[in-house]
Each structure stands twice: as C-alpha cells, then as structure tokens.
Structure 1
Amino acid sequence: MERSRSPFPDWAHLPPLVLHLISERVKSITDYVRFRAVCSPWRSASLPKPRHLPPQLPWLMFPWDSQDEEDDGIRLFYDHWESKTHKIHLPDMIGMMCRGSYRGWLFLDSQQEGAEVFLLNPLTRARIQLPSFTAADNESDEADIDIIKVTFSTELSDPDCLIIAFPLVRSSTFCCRVGDPCWTKVLFYAIPDVFPDGTYYNERFYVLCLGVMHVIDTNKPGDMIVYDFRREIRCANVFLQGEKSGVYVVAFFGQKEQDEATAQKDEDDQAAHDNKGTTETTPKLKIELYQFIEQPLELKKITNTSDTALFFTDYYYCLAVCSDDWDSLDGGSVYIQSKHVPSTDTDGDITCYNIFSGKLNDFKYERVASEVTKKPSFGPRPPAMWFQPSFV
C-alpha cells in the first residue's frame, strides 16, 4: 500500500518474468551490462551469459599507451555502436601483449622465454590458461614466436576445439586444446618461412604466402592444394577470413598497391596503350572480396555484399559482420582503422587512430571517429585490432 501511494513507479520491483522479457529485448552488449547494473532485482532477473544477443558490432582495441609511467592495466576500446571509447581496467593485461582476438577472446603473451600464454574475455574477465611456447613440440627455441593471428576450429566450449596460432616467421603453425600440456607444431613443408596470414576451416589449414594459397588437409597432410593468385591480386594486401560458409579472401589496395596492380594489368593487356591519352582519378582505396572455391579451384568475386560489413585495421586483422543483425549497419560497408604519427616538439610523438567508413564498391571513405594517444617510448608496439565483444 505504501508503494502504491508513491508518485513514481517502482521499476525495481517489477515481476521477475517481466524483467527477464525486457532484458531479452536489449540488443547492445553495453546496454545489457547497464541493465544488469541498475539494481539487484534487475540483475537477478537477467542471465549473466545471455544467448539472445546478436553478434556484436566490433570494438577497436587500442594498444597500451604510456610514456614513462608503469602499465596500470587500463585499456581503451572504441565502441562502434555507441561511437565512444570505453576505458576498461584489465589487470591481467599488465605486461602482456595482445596477439589477436577471436570470438570475444583476446590471445595474450609477453614474448618472453617461459612466459605464460592465455585467453582473456575483457567483459567477463574469464581467463583460460594455455601452454607457453617453450613447451611447443619440446623445442626450447620457440620462445620468440611472433604470433600474428589466432583462430578456433569450433566453439571454445567444445572439448575438441582446437586453438590455432599462426606465427609470422616459420613454415608451421601451433595447435592445442584447453588443458593440453604443450602446443603441437604442424609443419607446412614446401612453404617459405614467412607467411602473413592464415585461417582454418572444415579441418583444413589455409596459408597465404607470396601470392599463393596453400590448403593443407589435417587428415591428409601430404595432399596439398596450391592456388596462385592472379598478378593484380598479388599486389594487394590480402587477408583470409574463415567463416561458417567458407573461406574468403579480402584484397586491400592502397594507392601504392593500385598503381602496382595497374602496371601488372597493363603488361598483360596489350590494348592498354590505346588509352594513353586519357586521365582518370585513381581512388585512394579499393577493396575486393572473393570466396575461395576448391571445386573447381578458383576465386569467386563477390559483388553483392548486402548482408555483410567488413572491418579492417591497417596491419593484418579483419573480420566480417552480418549487417542484418543491426538496423544501423548497411550491407557492403567497410570500416577501416588507420593511424599516423605526427611529430611534436614537446611530448614526443603523438599517435592518431582514425576510423573511416565507406561502401565496398564506390571507394570513397570519410572519417567517422578518431582517438589521439601518446606513443610509448619503449618496448614493442602491437597493432590496434578489431574485437567482437561477447559474454561466451
């Protein structure tokens, strides 16, 4: 009776079923966190690991930034959905370097001999310990492995899930399951020592090296498929993306790459000399998307990307998001992170991270966000990378 006399509705004591139904209408992961933080009844009526949330729009995780002070564990994440930067205190990341992210998990190590390696979920603070690389295949010379990409064979909750780490240098990759005492080295024979990208799909490794795709079947490692990219694609920065529907190749042409690709095409096209008198504006950026088909062996160019948006950094990391899950996200959109380091006279170099947005087919991009930070004066500097937040 006392509650009924109040001029304000008693939102905290809504029936638990009603609160639960409301929580299932929340779409954004940050809004869901806020929902559970309102009060104890709201928290009790909502699930700590909800299954109804769609795949989230990526956050851009900036590398740790410090000039002289010690690492305090605070990391910056740019939230594309809210167009704002979140500061998250992650003590587990102190002294650690993020090598990659996959399905809501960050892959961390410190690149020191005998150092620990683990997966971290920045939202739930869940941590999964992995073997150190000194135990990789019982070889002590693996301590300085420079991991450039991490992927999973299935959902991490699957006990048979393989965690796959691709190193930049070495014609091999490393696999383990949660609880394994060491990494298992998978050798890729007849592949040079450096490959910039790789992925895993349907029990096969896909390794990119010098404009060539190598496909290695885990059940028949001796049977390797080799696919040569055409010459203009070799001039691009190429990324591999393993999705549920197959393996995709993303060719990223900057100004330099476009000039090289045009030169290669002119060599192959004898009719190019007829156009010497014409002039056209070369776009600053071009991206082409392909699906890799094994039967027949070919790259199939994808021109209709109405249900997909792509997110890139200016290093090697990219991911794709289904645009149908988000009302505000147009299909065929591309979001690219780039950085520049202007020189200053007082506090040292200043790094500016920019996010540009455009359409896949028109090659015109505009800046939608930027973040200015100080460049650290010591230690290796990891790249910024897109990270797709998740509770699971």
Structure 2
Amino acid sequence: MALANWAELPKDLIDLIAKCVKLIEDFIAFGVVCTSWRNSETKVNFDFLSPQLPLLMLADKGDDYREFYSLSKKKVSHVFLPEVRERECYPTEGWICNVKFDTTEMTLLHPFSRISIQLLLKKELWASAERFPERRTRYQCMSIAVLSMSPSFTSDYVLTISYYAYNFLACWRPGDLNWTYVDLDHHGGVSSMIYHKGQFYCVTNSGQIWVFGVPGPSIPQPIVVKATKVVHIANTIFGNYGYLIELSGALLIIFRYRRLAGGDTFRVFEIDVNEVELKKINTLGDYAIFVGLNGALCIDSSNFTEVKSNHIYFTDNDEEVFHCGDGAGRNMGAYNLEDRKTESFYPEESLSRSGICPPTWVTPSF
C-alpha cells in the first residue's frame, strides 16, 4: 500500500486541517511539514479566540537562541532570537519588551514572527529619573513592562514601564516623541502592574494599590498622567511580593511569601475597589495562574489536560538573586492552593539560571 504524499493534498483540505489546530505552538509546527502546508500557515486559518497555554522562556545563555519549554509537550524548542541576546526581557501581550543593560537600545519584539518595534532611547527615561536622583539605582534598567493591547491587532496601544529598581513609571504611545512620566507619589517600589478595564493598576511593595489612565492617541503630547491611590493593604497581609491579575472580570491580588530555603506560599484576594477592601479567595475553581518576572496571567485549565486547576505556577523573580552567583531560576514550581503543597513542573536536572533574564512565562501569539 503506497503512502500518501502529504504535500500533494488539495489546498482547501490543508486549509481545513489548519483551522482545526488550536495551539499556536502546534500551528507553527504545522507550517514546518512542507511548503504547501507552510502556505496555509496564515492568520486567516487560525482561530485567535482559542485559549493559549503559556510557554516557559528559559534563562538567557548568552547566545543567539532562546529556549521555550512547553508544558503540553514536555519538551524544549530552540528559537533563533539574536535580538534579545543578553537583554532584560519582559513579556506582555505576546510581545517581549527588551532592553540592553549597557546600551540605550530598547525594543518591542514579537518572538515568533521577529517583528520589532523600536522604542525611544533609554536616555529619555534617565531624564525622568533625574527628578529624584536619590532614588536612582544600578540594579536594572527596567523591572516591569505592560501593554494595554497587543500591537499585532491595533496601533492604539499604550506601553507603561517601571524602571530603575521599580521606583519610576513612564508611558509611551505610538507616535509619541518622548516618554511621559507618571505622577505617582508612592512609597516602596512597584512590584506588579496590570491593564484592567481601560486603566493601569499597580501595587507597591509597601502595599499601596494605585490606578491611572492614559489619554488616547488623539490627544497629542504633552499629556498629564496622574495616579490615584485606591487601597492601602495592611502589613500583616502583604507578602514579599504582590501580583495583580484579572480573573473572570474581577481584579485579584496574589501575595507571595518567599522562603529562603524554597517552598514559597501564596494567598489570593479579590480587590473590591468600591468598598475599598480585600476579599479572600480560597479556590480558583478551574483556573490556573502563572506568575513570574513580569507579573501574572491565568488560564482555564479545563482547556488543557496538562495544567492542574487551582494551582499557581511560579518562576523565580527575586531581583536580589539575579546579580549574584549563577543567577535566578532555581525557585520554580506549581503551588496547590488547596493542600498548600508544591510540586515540580520542570526537570530539576535542567534548571535554567541567569543574572540577566531568568525563566519567565510568554503567551504565544501572532
């Protein structure tokens, strides 16, 4: 019995097969089969509403490739990405905001299409930091980067970053000639930020939650962006780190309590902005949450048999260990909110560490 020549299948049949593929990582593999299949690997044939499982982007190794670990395939893929070699990387909306520590170059990079958007020079951010010279540090160029929407689908987006050891916030819109400093009279560095219902929310290490909006592109610079304090969390609740996340339309905060010997624990609360209070969440239901260097994201685990519900998948994002020894990346695991136990999701013998860019979660997109 002769084997079928997959390359000679009718195009309409190949297109139909392509439309049945739901994960982007599988869709990319689909295009590698042969030229005729690659021709069907287009955005038209992919359902953008299908949920995606985050990939673990492993630590920087100082070469032109980055490794991505798939929870579904339990294997590592090597992607040619010289653009982020030895750079700080902050994934957001399927893109990676990256900056070279010792240069002024900063870009937004789509890791799978390698489309790049050049951002303003780092010296523009130094100009904002000069307002408070006593708060400048040498640890990192940036610490958080959050997009309001993906540049893949619109040019009406805002990029907000926290820079120089979490102490400053600035935003940029396509077409802006310089960064706009966010007026934020906070205490303690910003530990997490999220775009939620048309506004940016951030939480500081001292337990303050702030909110601010950024005018649309129809309003030219100069613009004024001023933050308002929403909630001040008691020290008895706040952990070593706080992550903001949206789940089913609600705004949640996840407190991470770091243990020096590992075994981090977590607590989850819903933020009631109207009542100015926190409500403890004991279960995530079918959801799983992923936390790491640049914040948090959640998925409905019922769509993925490889992910456990009511678990928090975490990577090591403690900046104090980034720049000593062999870097961060040891402290990773999946924390069960019900029994408060942690299990491994990544092979221990392959632990990935870096003092520049430790392992972090990336949501695949077009």
On whether the aligned pair clears a TM of 0.5, the verdict is yes
The 3 A distance-change label for structure 1 pair 28 and 333 is same
Deviation at 1:103, TM superposition (A): 1.7
Q: d(CA) in 1 for partners of 2:279 and 2:113?
A: 39
- Which of 272, 282, 294 is residue 303 of structure 1 equivalent to? 282
> In the alignment, is the contact (CA less than 8 A) between 2:254 and 2:268 conserved in 1?
yes
Opposite residue 274 of structure 2, the aligned amino acid is Q
Contact conserved, 1:166 with 1:197, CA < 8 A, in 2?
Answer: no
The question of whether the paired residues in 1 share the 8 Å contact of 2:231 and 2:273 is answered with no
The structural deviation recorded for 1:117 is: 0.9
Q: What is the SS of the residue equivalent to 1:249?
A: strand
SS of 1:19's partner is helix
Distance 1:193 1:237 in 2: 12
What one-letter code is carried by the residue in structure 1 that aligns with 2:228? M
- The alignment status of 1:365 with 2:354, answered yes or no, reads no
Q: 1:188 aligns with which of 184, 189, 210?
A: 184
The answer as to whether partners of 2:242 and 2:255 remain within 8 angstroms in 1 is: yes
CA distance in 2, matches of 1:8, 1:169: 60
Q: Distance in 2 between matches of 1:122 and 1:49?
A: 20
2:333 is aligned, of 343, 352, 356, to: 356
Cα pair 1:201 1:243 within 8 Å, conserved: no
- The equivalences for 1:265-276 within 5 A come to none
Percent identity of the aligned residues?
23
Q: Which residue of 1 aligns with 2:201?
A: 206
In 1, distance between residues paired with 2:201 and 2:271?
A: 10
Kindly provide the CA deviation profile for residues 70-116 of structure 1, in whole angstroms up to 9, marking residues without a partner as x: x4311222221211122222121234321x11121111111335x12
- Of 113, 125, 132, 2:121 maps to 132
Which of 40, 46, 59 pairs up with 1:45? 40
Residue 296 of structure 1 and its aligned partner are, at CA, apart by 1.6
Equivalent residues, number: 342
Matches within 5 A, 1:11-160: 11-48=6-43, 50-52=45-47, 54-65=50-61, 71-98=62-89, 100-112=90-102, 115-136=104-125, 141=130, 146-156=141-151, 157-160=153-156
Shift of 1:297: 1.5
Q: Which residue of 2 aligns with 1:326?
A: 304
Q: Quick one: which of 356, 359, 366 aligns to 1:384?
A: 359
Matching residue's letter, 1:177: R
- Contact preservation (8 Å) 1:351, 1:373: no
Q: CA RMSD in A?
A: 3.3
Task: Name the CA distance, whole Å, in 2 between partners of 1:134 and 1:75.
Answer: 27
Q: Secondary structure at the match of 1:161?
A: coil
Matched, 1:215 2:193: no
Q: Which string of whole-angstrom CA distances, capped at 9 and with x for unpartnered residues, describes residues 47-82 of structure 1?
A: 1575415232112222222xxxxx431122222121
Q: Would you tell me which structure has more helix in proportion to its own residues?
A: 1
- Residue 239 (structure 1) aligned with residue 216 (structure 2): no
Q: Is the 8 A contact 2:289 2:312 kept in 1?
A: yes
Report if the CA contact (8 A) 2:27-2:41 is conserved. no
Corresponding letter in the other structure for 2:357: P
Residues 78 and 85, structure 1, Cα contact 8 Å, conserved in 2:
yes
The residue correspondences of 1:162-181 to structure 2 (distance < 5 A) are 162-169=158-165, 171-181=167-177
CA distance in 2, matches of 1:179, 1:243: 32
Seen in structure 2, the aligned counterparts of structure 1 residues 128 and 325 have a Cα distance that, compared at 3 Å, is farther
The question of whether the paired residues in 2 share the 8 Å contact of 1:204 and 1:216 is answered with yes
**Contact 1:352–1:372 under 8 Å retained in 2:** no
On the 8 A contact 2:141/2:163 being kept in 1, the answer is yes
Cα distance, 1:308 vs structure 2 = 1.4
Greater shift in the superposed pair: 354-363 or 121-130: 354-363
Runs (5+) with no aligned partner, structure 2:
216-223, 319-324
2:170, 2:147 → 1: CA distance?
12
Structure 2 partner of 1:262: none
Instruction: Please give the alpha-carbon distance, in whole angstroms, between the structure 2 residues aligned to 1:112 and 1:354.
Output: 27
CA–CA distance in 2 between the matches of 1:152 and 1:366? 31
Secondary structure of the structure 2 residue equivalent to 1:368? coil
CA deviation string 1:27-62 (max 9, x = no partner):
332221121111122222331575415232112222
The code of the aligned residue for 1:303 comes to N
Q: Measure, in 2, the Cα distance between the counterparts of 1:18 and 1:76.
A: 33
In structure 1, the gaps of 5 or more residues are 1-5, 66-70, 258-282, 341-347
In structure 2, what is the Cα distance between the partners aligned to 1:355 and 1:284?
A: 9
From the superposition, tell whether residues 293 and 193 of structure 1 become closer, same or farther in structure 2 (CA, over 3 Å): closer
1:255/1:81 CA distance change after superposition, 3 Å: same
Q: Distance in 2 between matches of 1:108 and 1:46?
A: 27
* Structure 1 residues 41 and 229: alpha-carbon distance in aligned structure 2, compared to 1, 3 A threshold: same
Which whole-Å CA distance do the structure 2 matches of 1:174 and 1:186 have between them? 5
